[in-house]
Amino acid sequence: MTAPVSAETLDRLRHVATATLSTQLFKLGLRNTYLTGLRPASPGLRMVGEALTLRFVPAREDLATFENITRADYPQRAAIEGCGPGQVLVVEGRGIESAAIGGDIYLNRLKVRGAAGCIVDGCVRDFASIQALGLPVYARGAASPPHPARHLAVAWNVPVGCCEVLVMPGDIMVGDDDGVVCIPRHLADEVARTGADLDALEAFVLEKIRAGAPVPGTYPPDEKTRADYEAWRQRNK
Amino acid sequence: MTAPVSAETLDRLRHVATATLSTQLFKLGLRNTYLTGLRPASPGLRMVGEALTLRFVPAREDLATFENITRADYPQRAAIEGCGPGQVLVVEGRGIESAAIGGDIYLNRLKVRGAAGCIVDGCVRDFASIQALGLPVYARGAASPPHPARHLAVAWNVPVGCCEVLVMPGDIMVGDDDGVVCIPRHLADEVARTGADLDALEAFVLEKIRAGAPVPGTYPPDEKTRADYEAWRQRNK
Amino acid sequence: MTAPVSAETLDRLRHVATATLSTQLFKLGLRNTYLTGLRPASPGLRMVGEALTLRFVPAREDLATFENITRADYPQRAAIEGCGPGQVLVVEGRGIESAAIGGDIYLNRLKVRGAAGCIVDGCVRDFASIQALGLPVYARGAASPPHPARHLAVAWNVPVGCCEVLVMPGDIMVGDDDGVVCIPRHLADEVARTGADLDALEAFVLEKIRAGAPVPGTYPPDEKTRADYEAWRQRNK
Amino acid sequence: MTAPVSAETLDRLRHVATATLSTQLFKLGLRNTYLTGLRPASPGLRMVGEALTLRFVPAREDLATFENITRADYPQRAAIEGCGPGQVLVVEGRGIESAAIGGDIYLNRLKVRGAAGCIVDGCVRDFASIQALGLPVYARGAASPPHPARHLAVAWNVPVGCCEVLVMPGDIMVGDDDGVVCIPRHLADEVARTGADLDALEAFVLEKIRAGAPVPGTYPPDEKTRADYEAWRQRNK
Amino acid sequence: MTAPVSAETLDRLRHVATATLSTQLFKLGLRNTYLTGLRPASPGLRMVGEALTLRFVPAREDLATFENITRADYPQRAAIEGCGPGQVLVVEGRGIESAAIGGDIYLNRLKVRGAAGCIVDGCVRDFASIQALGLPVYARGAASPPHPARHLAVAWNVPVGCCEVLVMPGDIMVGDDDGVVCIPRHLADEVARTGADLDALEAFVLEKIRAGAPVPGTYPPDEKTRADYEAWRQRNK
Amino acid sequence: MTAPVSAETLDRLRHVATATLSTQLFKLGLRNTYLTGLRPASPGLRMVGEALTLRFVPAREDLATFENITRADYPQRAAIEGCGPGQVLVVEGRGIESAAIGGDIYLNRLKVRGAAGCIVDGCVRDFASIQALGLPVYARGAASPPHPARHLAVAWNVPVGCCEVLVMPGDIMVGDDDGVVCIPRHLADEVARTGADLDALEAFVLEKIRAGAPVPGTYPPDEKTRADYEAWRQRNK
């Protein structure tokens, strides 16, 4: 998590579909970068940012007490107060659907701090309020119970497993209506660049398909389609 | 299910979030009161009412015949016709997603009878029609097949398990967009009162957080925040 | 798949609820015709058409290569280009939620070719674009990764299992907001006819229920209700 | 549960495979009589007996107290003390694997009372002791926690769902190493008789197959094989 | 499935652990060759053979009739009678645990025909008899109901998905107590050879570990350990 | 993990059933201490020891390389070499059944180092060899693939979630044929003592039940049974 990811890369990623990004990662040999099982609380929003991670383990009655979980250094609270502008809080929640890991107080705080989004492998509460917040939030759904009913936060800024995908602190998280993809930080520049190219090509292909072109020859493009595309691209610069 | 629950308690519960109620129940040592896995057919509606229960078991071809299931004393029909104003029909449906336990005819009948809602640990059919009904309905989703394809009603007004939560006849069911919580009847007054208090505090806290306050000191409130809150509360009376 | 299904039958099916159809199939002894687990990408659309099937098996790195999956005779591509007007592409996708079986390029192509819809026991990508397409699409949800991450197409126009329901090429697929039902081709005329009758009766019954009639006597109709219905039916012809 | 099942029928059932019984029930149109997911604690034992049922619902902390669950009229205890010779205790345990519904004290008591077996859609504790007991016990497996951690008994001698199969009090439960089948009481005579016939035929067929006969012509038997079988049957009388 | 796999390769595979083979396949980039979820009916047996495949789809009442499933050309029967010496019948059974795909008659027939084993992504009946058969059988477990309760055979000798692993006819299936691995036919020679080498090394390493050597330096072997191994290997030739 | 657990406590725990221990923990308000879903590789062995933890996250191709996983400081290797006499290695393996987290080399090393056992929320390879090892191993089952196919070790000696139970380094793990219970370290003395008492009582009760005593009055013991028990206890001292 040393070198900063360039603004250019982040900007490109804001315009590339997660479908395209996962294709490019797949071509690089990365088969497990999509966080299966989440849905966007607010469809239509896009999310791009660096991962700040938070890890929960199963609750135990002697440790998941209200006294413990309201300490300032409790990892959940530390992570939220440690979240900086442009970061995405990524929460290992073990897929639990019977309790929330937080609600509108914590998510409003993230928004005030400039977070780029929040990803929860689990549930959130105050769902209607969160949907209206304008912050991209991806979760399994809504649940009313407070987090100590099922969870105890034990660490932040460590590698986490989220929806059976490894997320390292500093990886680049991208989300759209298809879901969330984790881009290993060292590959962000590459997939942003090749992804933007592929997206442009697919926009052209889609136009052709809508106009009646058959799939073979059009996608993937044969020589003629590729030539047409290059011409189209020149025109649309 | 002896003493009536006071109108004041029911009225309070109409304004307290299920998130808050499950927190209060959790503090009382009740860790399993949230009905995991349901979603509101009509987001935005709130539901408060006494549980009237209905129990289904797996269907068997010799018993789940159309002749049997259309008898007047068939428990499904008896429960619907026995449902009074302000009651919530709570259906043990074993989480089955491949058949419905009923559709718009039964749910319209419930509405006409003044039911406060319907909760199904399973599916309903005629989903679009039910969404438009104005009756709070919580279910796992929609399914077309008729209930005898998977279910046989065998009892009503008995203890049921709904989404792995025990619901006793007469318990108070509360639903909002986060889902449904079952309040044991003998605790309804208490959690309605303490829940209303907590909800007021959290509304104040949320205002502070949105204005830029950090989580520590604000939530849970330290002495200063609590004093601010008391002042705010006086002003907002 | 020999004799064509009559236009009259297809037209009737466009106006019968899948709930009604699955009831009629159940009465004929067919207990497993509903495709559990799908949701409509575009609620409100109705779908009726003949099944054209496509079968995927698990991917393997030596076979699910981009070279193989972009050949013209690759079954996925062959099926799409082989899909004729009024057909519904039914995809055996083994319920996988961590990859898509296709996206807006393929689904736009289906629409251009006049397909009546697409059913995927799995996921699709470019979900927002597909929702706006005007083609009835039923799937488990959205997923970003490309299909060779999990799938390899091996055959089309063969019997498939879709959501644990057998679909034979040429069966009639009907979809509405409750989901999708597969009607064995040889039963299409019968259930279209009896389904239309039942739907008419239920519309009348619903009107009565909304007006305050109790369930017993009204549904199923006793002699008096049936007579009322016949009179109502004459009036509404 | 009125008329007694004849000793002859029970005796026949002791020698018919559950595979055969489920085939005969399937031929009678009963597709859901096998209790999926159980395994015999003591492979090699056979079980035949009348169902005595016991129903658990999810535990709740205010009701599943040690005080309540040790009352003499607590349904779990009442069922055990009410279990007579030749009966099989069938426990609705909702498939829970994180707690037991009982252990060697209760199962030894059942054995002393002459029970024919015990079927648990859930787990038992003291598993090693139970395996050595000589009583046929079918369960999902072993688990240490006491039943009130997850369960509350609320009724006995009522219809139950066990492994998604309906079991009525008085139905005939048969178990072998393939698992457990529930025979509706009114069909016990019939499937005992036809099952014994089929078992005899299959024993003959198996002998032929082992001797090198091909499947076609042998199973199901063609005319010649059937004649050979009748001759064999005469010889083996 | 053109060129025969050499006897030398098959013989080597009989002595290499599936753990080792899956490691070698993993090193070649094949991450999905292990059939998760099966257990050996007869622990201690080893299985090596070429895949002969059989595909089941979900049953439907109008097609999965006893008349249809007992025809000589029914794919299940055709596959069994088509199974030659040294072949392994690999059955796509969709993981169903509520019905068997066959029992001792079919498995005895396979054994008589010289089959090397049988793999079922589903269940078998007559389990005790099959355990005693001496034929390696891998399945999810036992179940009593006959296959048409859930299955219909529709093809054999086609690509199948078995436990979410692609098996092509002619692939080499290897089984031991850890389970079953599918080796793509074109890789059989290579992994047999490299697997045998790795197995020898691991046997040496295990001896060292048992004698007290630490893991680092021993496994993977550093230069000194590797030299010791080569010397040991010379001694043990 | 400061103060040592006394030898007396550890010795007592070697003779108390996990069923009894989970009951005692339940009475202390700890409802989630049993590790659901594991089975003993070697039934009949008992395990008592302090937890040494190891955490795996999902594998990613750029990090789970053979180069990385064979470094001396790789957490899996560090934990094994750091495991001291009497410790139990507790592995967070996320319940994965399609790869092993280790095999006989690592488990033999643990045994040589004096480990008291190993608990894996996942699978192990070389299962037959491990069963014969004489070290108590609890896992979900066997699987052939190497751990980097699904796992990457990222930490040891940290809190872990194992089968949805929180295990802190230094907690006391106890296993028998019913499974594994985690005793929070600060409660070990108490539950060892009260557990031994309860086990003694239950041994007496079982003797009475086997002799024909009814459950009521015997278990829990009424005054007379308790007096008998005290007398019996004096005699059996």
Query: Mean of the pLDDT values across residues A61-70?
Result: 96
pLDDT in tens, C203-215: 999 999 999 999 9
H, E, C per residue of E152-194: EEEEECCCEEECCEEECCCCEEEEECCEEEEECHHHHHHHHHH
Q: Is the pLDDT of residue D45 over 80?
A: yes
Tokens encoding F64: 């789970």
Query: Mean of the pLDDT values across residues A43-55?
Result: 98
Residues 22-61 of F with CB under 8 A from E: none
The pLDDT-based confidence of A25 (bands split at 50, 70, 90) is: very high
Query: Mean of the pLDDT values across residues D173-194?
Result: 98
pLDDT in tens, A104-113: 999 999 999 9
Nearest-by-CA chain D residue for E66: D27
Better pLDDT: F1 or A89: A89
User: Does A70 sit within 8 Å of B220, measured CB to CB?
Assistant: yes
For chain B, list the contacting chains (3+ Cβ pairs, <8 Å): A, C, D
Query: Does the ipTM surpass 0.90?
Result: yes
**A vs F contact (3+ beta-carbon pairs below 8 A):** yes
pLDDT in tens, F103-139: 999 999 999 999 999 999 999 999 999 999 999 999 9
**C vs F contact (3+ beta-carbon pairs below 8 A):** no
Least CB–CB distance from C34: residue in B109, B127, B143: B143
Judging contacts by C-beta atoms under 8 Å, the chain A residues touching residue C133 are none
Instruction: Please tell me if residue B102 touches chain C, with a CB cutoff of 8 Å.
Output: no
Q: How far is F228 from chain A (nearest CA, A)?
A: 37
Phi first, then psi, for residue C191 (nearest 5°) are -75, -25
Instruction: Please tell me if residue C82 touches chain A, with a CB cutoff of 8 Å.
Output: no
For chain C, list the contacting chains (3+ Cβ pairs, <8 Å): A, B, E
Q: Which three-class secondary structure state does DSSP give residue D233?
A: helix
User: Does D61 sit within 8 Å of B31, measured CB to CB?
Assistant: yes
User: Does C112 sit within 8 Å of A212, measured CB to CB?
Assistant: yes
pLDDT the model gives residue F94: 98
pLDDT the model gives residue B168: 98
Ramachandran region, residue F12 (left: φ > 0; alpha: ψ -120 to 50; beta: rest): alpha
Q: Which of F69, F144, F151 would you mutate first to test chain E, the one with the most E CBs within 10 A?
A: F144
User: Does D105 sit within 8 Å of F219, measured CB to CB?
Assistant: yes
CA C217, C223, C224, C228 dihedral sign is positive
Task: For A55-75, give the DSSP string.
Answer: EEEE--TTTS-HHHHTSTTSH
- The alpha-carbon radius of gyration of chain A (Å, integer) is 20
- Tell me which residue of C163, C159, C202 sits closest to C184, measured CA to CA: C159
Helix locations, C14-149, DSSP H: 18-27, 66-69, 75-82, 104-112, 127-131
Q: How far apart are CA D4 and CA D21, in angstroms?
A: 20
Nearest-by-CA chain D residue for E141: D178
User: Does C202 sit within 8 Å of B98, measured CB to CB?
Assistant: no
pLDDT the model gives residue E236: 80
pLDDT the model gives residue D95: 98
Instruction: Please tell me if residue D156 touches chain F, with a CB cutoff of 8 Å.
Output: no
The pLDDT-based confidence of F2 (bands split at 50, 70, 90) is: low
Q: Is the pLDDT of residue A188 over 90?
A: yes
For chain E, list the contacting chains (3+ Cβ pairs, <8 Å): C, D, F
Low-confidence stretches of chain B (pLDDT beneath 50): 1
pLDDT in tens, C147-159: 999 999 999 999 9
Least CB–CB distance from B149: residue in C31, C214, C219: C31
Q: Is the pLDDT of residue D122 over 90?
A: yes
The pLDDT-based confidence of D228 (bands split at 50, 70, 90) is: very high
Q: Which three-class secondary structure state does DSSP give residue C130?
A: helix
What is chain D's mean pLDDT, rounded?
96
How many CB pairs below 8 Å do chains D and F form together? 80
Nearest-by-CA chain B residue for D161: B57
Q: Is the pLDDT of residue D236 over 90?
A: no
- Tell me which residue of D29, D149, D38, D21 sits closest to D91, measured CA to CA: D38
Instruction: Please tell me if residue B205 touches chain A, with a CB cutoff of 8 Å.
Output: yes
What is chain A's mean pLDDT, rounded?
96
Q: How far is F42 from chain E (nearest CA, A)?
A: 14
Instruction: Please tell me if residue F143 touches chain E, with a CB cutoff of 8 Å.
Output: yes
Judging contacts by C-beta atoms under 8 Å, the chain C residues touching residue A179 are 142-144
Instruction: Please tell me if residue C169 touches chain E, with a CB cutoff of 8 Å.
Output: no
Q: How far is E170 from chain D (nearest CA, A)?
A: 24
pLDDT the model gives residue A2: 63
Nearest-by-CA chain A residue for B203: A105
User: Does B142 sit within 8 Å of C178, measured CB to CB?
Assistant: yes
The pLDDT-based confidence of C2 (bands split at 50, 70, 90) is: low
pLDDT the model gives residue D2: 63
User: Does B26 sit within 8 Å of A97, measured CB to CB?
Assistant: no
User: Does A186 sit within 8 Å of F161, measured CB to CB?
Assistant: no
Lowest pLDDT segment from B1-5, C143-147, D75-79, D208-212 = B1-5
Judging contacts by C-beta atoms under 8 Å, the chain E residues touching residue F128 are 43-44, 176-178
Q: What percent of chain F has pLDDT over 70?
A: 99
pLDDT in tens, F4-48: 899 999 999 999 999 999 999 999 999 999 999 999 999 999 999
pLDDT in tens, A130-171: 999 999 999 999 999 999 999 999 999 999 999 999 999 999
Judging contacts by C-beta atoms under 8 Å, the chain F residues touching residue E179 are 142-144
For B160, the enclosing helix (H) or strand (E) is: strand B160-162
pLDDT the model gives residue F236: 80
Tokens encoding A124: 């959130």
pLDDT the model gives residue E4: 87
For chain F, list the contacting chains (3+ Cβ pairs, <8 Å): A, D, E
pLDDT in 10s for each residue of chain E, 237 residues: 468 899 999 999 999 999 999 999 999 999 999 999 999 999 999 999 999 999 999 999 999 999 999 998 999 999 999 999 999 999 999 999 999 999 999 999 999 999 999 999 999 999 999 999 999 999 999 999 999 999 999 999 999 999 999 999 999 999 999 999 999 999 999 999 999 999 999 999 999 999 999 999 999 899 999 999 999 999 887
CA D80, D82, D85, D88 dihedral sign is negative
Judging contacts by C-beta atoms under 8 Å, the chain E residues touching residue F98 are 34, 36
CB atoms within 10 A of CB E236: 9
Nearest-by-CA chain A residue for B40: A142
